[in-house]
Amino acid sequence: MRIAIVCLLALTASPLIRCQNHRVVKGPDAVTAPLGSNATFKCVVENAELRWTIDDLPISLDAEELWEQAALPVNGFFRGEFWSNSTITAATLLVSASVQNNGTVFGCAAFGGFGYPQDFSPNVSLTVFGLPLAPGEVEVVGERVHQLRVTWTPPFSLPGELISYSLLVTDEATGFTSSLGPLNDTNFTHQISERQALDCHLYSFSAFSLNDVGLSLNSSSSTPALHPSGEDE
């Protein structure tokens, strides 16, 4: 009789959460984001708590805690939302696509608590494409305009395996264009010869950037017209 009562209680009791099947239904999709935009990761789990990971470390709700705990070179986390104990749960992670996110791996995990097994989604990398800014410095060499020295500093850490770019220097008056590249360095100096550095001409500088999927971006700026003395017009 005692055995029968125990069996009856076992049949009528509510199922334990730890006995439920929990798994990651869908993980984040691969993301490519332009520099300065936002990237959104979505993940769905079933009967489990959902947590985000970055480079295999958990992401907390608080962006400041993320900095303190992980100390990772990731800028501008706006939101890491956390749901738990729902039949089907969806979570969204919104990330500011800064240049420091190159090569960063995001993922989501299903946690059941109390030592339950956990399932991880396929991790994906956020690849951010940036564009070198126009030259920050144009120097006139000598009393006359014999040379223009262009110093180019892209505003990001340039991963050579992902991005290379070429510099185009155009004389706006004659249309003559000289090119230099492809380049992988973060800094370089380019000198325009005396033949190209004509007096009182405008020169524009542009970058053509290629990433691993062939995306092209352009940026340009012009120097002021120059007197033969090397002074600005």
The residue that leads in pLDDT, 192 or 83, is: 192
Q: What is the DSSP string of 169-230?
A: EEETTT--EEEEEEE--S-EEEEE-TTT--TT--EEEEEEEE-TT--EEEEEEEPPPB-TTS
Looking at residue 6, its pLDDT comes to 35
β 31-34/124-129 pair status: parallel
Indicate whether 192 pLDDT > 60: no
pLDDT tens-digit series, residues 103-159: 677 777 776 654 455 666 767 777 666 554 444 444 444 444 444 555 554 444 444
- Greater confidence (173 vs 17) lies with 173
Amino acid at 154: P
End-to-end CA distance of the chain: 106
Taken in order of first residue, the domains within the chain and their CATH numbers are 17-129 (2.60.40.10), 137-222 (2.60.40.10)
pLDDT classification of 69: cutoffs 50, 70, 90: very low
Q: Pseudo-torsion of CA 156, 157, 163, 164, nearest 10°?
A: 90
79-106: string of b/e by CB count within 10 Å (b at 16+)?
Answer: ebeebeeeeebebebebbbbbbbbebeb
The number of beta carbons lying within 10 Å of the beta carbon of residue 195 is 8
Tokens in use for 72?
A: 């990772």
The structure's pTM equals 0.41
The pLDDT of residue 19 is above 70: no
State whether the Cα torsion 43-48-50-51 is positive or negative.
negative
